[in-house]
Chain A
Amino acid sequence: MRISFHLNGRHVSINTIPERRLADILREDYGLVGTHPGCYKGTCGFCTVLMDGNPIYSCLLPAFAVREKTITTIEGFLPTREAQEILKGFQEAGCLLPEYVLASVLFPVNSLLETTDIPDEEDIEEIIRYCHWGPSRSMAFREGIIIAAKFRNRRKRRGKRK
């Protein structure tokens, strides 16, 4: 089956078995190995990508469901200033994110910061509850989200002033 979609700003087309999981297509056909299918059942979150701007688990998405959709992988997201703000937040909090967990942390945190200026305990707890990376239970991880929110707000305010 031929499937066309937008991948990290590029229009691409692939001939593949329609049942294949998007996570495998991204890794095996496009070399985007920042997407890690860790469980194939939507638990670990290491395969998160953005589909039309919303985070989804690419291991639970078959190829045929991607037709004409816009997919952003962690490779496409990392250069954006949104991603950089979050990374800087975690860095300042002293929480180093390994490459493996970037997709499972950056996408949910970004979604949160898009809807909330000042994340409260419940918001942060929800991110942590579903994060399957051990150190997400650390104080530094929580602080990382709070500092990232400050960076995001600062930029938003500057944008408004202009």
Chain B
Amino acid sequence: MYINDFSFPDMLYGVILGSTIPRGTIQEILLPELPSQIKVLTAKEIPGLREFTVREQKIPLLAYSEIRYEGEPILLLYGPDEYECRNFAEKIVIRYESDYIIETLEQPGEHQIAARRVINYGDPDTVFSGSFQEIEGTYTIHPKDISTGDAQGALVLPRSDSKLQVISSTLWPAHVRNTVALTLGIPKKDVSVESSAILSPSWKKLWFPSHLAALASLITFHTNRPAKIILSPRDEQTFGPGRSKVIIHHRTALDKEGGAIAYDVDIRIDGGAYPAFGKELLDRTCAAALGAYRGENVLISGKLIRTTTPPKEAGNGMGLAETLFALETQVTRIAELCQQSPVQWKKQNFQKKGDVLPTGGFLRERPPVEELIDMVSAVSDFSRKHASYELLRKRRPSLRYERKLLKGIGLSICYQGNGFLGKRDNELPVTMQARLDTEGKLSLTTPLVVSKTAAGWKNLAGSILEIDPSTIELYSGETTGIPEAGPSILSRNITIGSSLVEKCCEAIRQRRFRDPLPLEIKRTFRIPRNTHWREEDFTGNPFLSRSWAATVVEVFMDPILLDVKVRGVWMIVEAGKILDRNWAVETLEEGIYFALQSCGAKEWIPFANPMIQFADSSQNKTKGLGDLPFIGVPSAYVCAVSQAAGYYFDSIPITPALMHRYMEEL
């Protein structure tokens, strides 16, 4: 059941009232005359901690006095009728004192900087001063909110044993439990958390559901009745965490042959008023700033900036989508300015086995980039199309008088960095329990929150034990009694979960005809310590593993309406062992769809479907792949549109209005 589908007798509904100003202090709250069944809670009624913590960031449950963003929750109304509560919420007047200065990402003050990261390797200053030429570009990623459909919310039930039962649309039940316990000031053992069904495992469901669960728990704490908070679509726009805007400035020094000899990358990330996961986002963005390219003289400096916007979710690709969009767009531009094909330039500048990363680690394996680029070029006919569209572009007199369809094609190479850089979540062991009962029925139990991976796991278990996957039972989440496992995000279900399914089922297979049934197997996955990464001094190999993709996007553009149609998407993926091909393809196709939407693409030519292939992998382990489209598609799309229009675009999403602005400016 989805979170909004639960209902209990005697249930109370909570409605959040948020701030109408972005910065200031609360002076006075004027309540209308309320009927006896409607009550109001403020920060003063929070019995435990008034703030909850996401990583190191503290966020107020309800604003006490200071307001730091528009929409910040101030009051919680509750009553037996949600409609009535919403009506009364509209009648409440809050007076503020406010003389704030607008805090932006573009021109941040020193006090706005929440965190910094600098990677300095080699001698970039000297190399830049003696370089043949420098190429600069500023790339902006404007977040575009894409709704997944299912509601955000929480439901809390008082139990007869004076404990609280929380149902939440969360991917991180342990965080919900901690947040509820700490804000109510009760022991963690008195809170149990159940995850509701989730339509799409988006980042919105990472830490934000904990906030809602803590608010709903507050109602139950004060009334001892079931309480439910569901955000309406409008509420989600007001309170729901948004994605970070990111601005990345690239300066690349080139030698006479056009090869990159030094990189200078400046990264600015909007962390919102409370940068939850902001440090991880900053670190990943900086660590991956050079993507698959060799860098011997590098300066990467990143800043996490506080602004008066709502707290941020991390977003698919978590930092890599932003940083590799900027990098791939920059290197494609370099190739074109050097009169080289992007394929040729990229191949000459790729990392090789044994190269030293800007973070100091040695590259232990050769990235499969050359194979991927060759494969994707072959299936999409990239080189021929790119050359011929380039010729068309150069021969065209002016876009203003063009009546024929404009064509463009772009190529990107990217990787998905699996695992968190921060140690804490990586070090939590994940346990899975498998049981084969006397009738030969298999059940799997895991604390990971399972949504889309369920079918893949069942197929994997079914194929190992040669049983019908549809007969396999899967129990997941916090209530299984298995210790917490960290958030089910960043492909942890695929990388860790799948390996556990495999280990458990292999063990059962070996014992099932030797030992009597029922058989119970428990396996724990401990992420290897010291995986060549030292978080303290930010050195080594930052990611547990990397999955790779080469992406080509081809577009047609109407010269009059400046409308872009996606003609085709080709993607070659190397993600280790693929457990379930259908599931993997479906995940990538869905990702491509959302990624194109976030770039501003609205139309697809019918049946110009993404064409996805998997490269042979020598590796026997499974790696995540769900974020690859979000990382690889944007720069391929922007490069394709740039070629079609004949202007270098450097931000997403691209809209016809933006194209027009570029055309006017140039």
Chain B residues with CB below 8 A from A122, complex form: 606
Q: For residues 46 through 103 of chain A, which have their beta carbon under 8 Å from a beta carbon of chain B?
A: 46, 94-96, 98-101
Q: Which of A94, A101, A135 contacts B589 (CB 8 A)?
A: A135
Closest to A98 in B: B199
Q: Which of B5, B149, B591 contacts A46 (CB 8 A)?
A: B149
Interface size (B, Cβ < 8 Å)? 32
A132 to B5 CA separation, bound complex (whole angstroms): 20
Known: A36-B2, A36-B149, A101-B199. A138 touches B233 (CB 8 A): no
Inter-chain contact A139/B199, CB cutoff 8 Å: no
Q: Which of A36, A121, A125, A140 contacts B150 (CB 8 A)?
A: A36
A94 to B604 CA separation, bound complex (whole angstroms): 23
Q: For residues 1 through 37 of chain B, which have their beta carbon under 8 Å from a beta carbon of chain A?
A: 1-2, 4-5, 7
Q: Which of B232, B234, B593 contacts A134 (CB 8 A)?
A: B593
Inter-chain contact B590/A125, CB cutoff 8 Å: no
Q: For residues 219 through 261 of chain B, which have their beta carbon under 8 Å from a beta carbon of chain A?
A: 232-234
A27 to B149 CA separation, bound complex (whole angstroms): 16
Inter-chain contact A31/B593, CB cutoff 8 Å: no
The winner among B5, B83, B149 for most chain A CB atoms within 10 A is B149
Q: How far is the CB of A141 from chain B (nearest CB, A)?
A: 9
A94 to B591 CA separation, bound complex (whole angstroms): 18
Closest to A93 in B: B582
Q: Which of B147, B234, B589 contacts A139 (CB 8 A)?
A: B589
Chain B residues with CB below 8 A from A17, complex form: 83
Q: Which of A41, A132, A139 contacts B609 (CB 8 A)?
A: A139
Q: How far is the CB of B199 from chain A (nearest CB, A)?
A: 5
Chain B residues with CB below 8 A from A151, complex form: none
Q: For residues 125 through 162 of chain A, which have their beta carbon under 8 Å from a beta carbon of chain B?
A: 125, 132-135, 137-140, 142
- CB of B585 within 8 Å of the partner chain: yes
Inter-chain contact A138/B149, CB cutoff 8 Å: no
Inter-chain contact B149/A38, CB cutoff 8 Å: yes
Inter-chain contact B585/A138, CB cutoff 8 Å: yes
- CB of B594 within 8 Å of the partner chain: yes
Chain B residues with CB below 8 A from A140, complex form: 582, 585-586
Known: A38-B233, A94-B582, A101-B199. A33 touches B590 (CB 8 A): no
Q: Which of A41, A100, A142 contacts B149 (CB 8 A)?
A: A100
25 examples of A-B residue contacts, CB within 8 angstroms: A28-B7, A38-B147, A38-B149, A38-B150, A40-B232, A40-B234, A46-B149, A98-B197, A98-B199, A100-B2, A101-B149, A124-B606, A125-B606, A134-B200, A134-B591, A134-B594, A135-B586, A135-B589, A137-B589, A137-B590, A137-B604, A137-B609, A138-B586, A139-B585, A140-B585
Query: Which 7 pairs across A and B sit closest by C-beta, in order of nearness?
Result: A134-B590, A33-B5, A137-B593, A138-B589, A125-B606, A38-B149, A94-B582
